[in-house]
Amino acid sequence: MDEAAFNVLAEAELTRIEQALEAFDDDIELEVQPGGVLELEFVNGSKVVINRHTAAREIWVAAKSGGFHFRPESGKWLGTRDGVELYAALGRIFSEQAGRNIDLSAGDE
């Protein structure tokens, strides 16, 4: 996949994540930064950063529990280490950091 095609795909996915997070605005403060970066801050002050990494053709997630990379495969974004789907991983990560269940399965359609 060339850089331009990746950037279009990644930007669309970041927008989907942003829209999925609107339901949790009481728990998560979202700031959208230039260049495809989403910065999330939870009520307890912990943060998650989600961004596209064009050179690697991946979406990267930095969280308290570690760093995670996702590649587009067969219409989904899958973890490069474990094959976990992006929204399942984000739901787990966000739930851990928020201290309550954050279900993003609606984004996984």
pLDDT in tens, 87-106: 999 999 999 999 989 988 75
CATH of the domain at 29: 3.30.920.10
- Domain hosting 75: range is 3-99
Q: In what order do the strands lie in the sheet with 66-73?
A: 28-33, 37-42, 47-53, 58-63, 66-73, 76-79
Structurally, the chain folds into a number of domains equal to 1
Amino acid at position 3, single letter:
E
pLDDT band at 34 (very low <50, low <70, confident <90, very high): confident
User: What pLDDT does 26 receive?
Assistant: 85
Over residues 73-81, the mean pLDDT reads: 95
Task: Please report whether residue 53 resides in a domain.
Answer: yes
Cβ contact 37:54 at 8 Å: no
Positive or negative, the Cα torsion across 76, 92, 24, 10?
negative
pLDDT at 107 over 50: no
For the entire predicted model, the pTM comes to 0.91
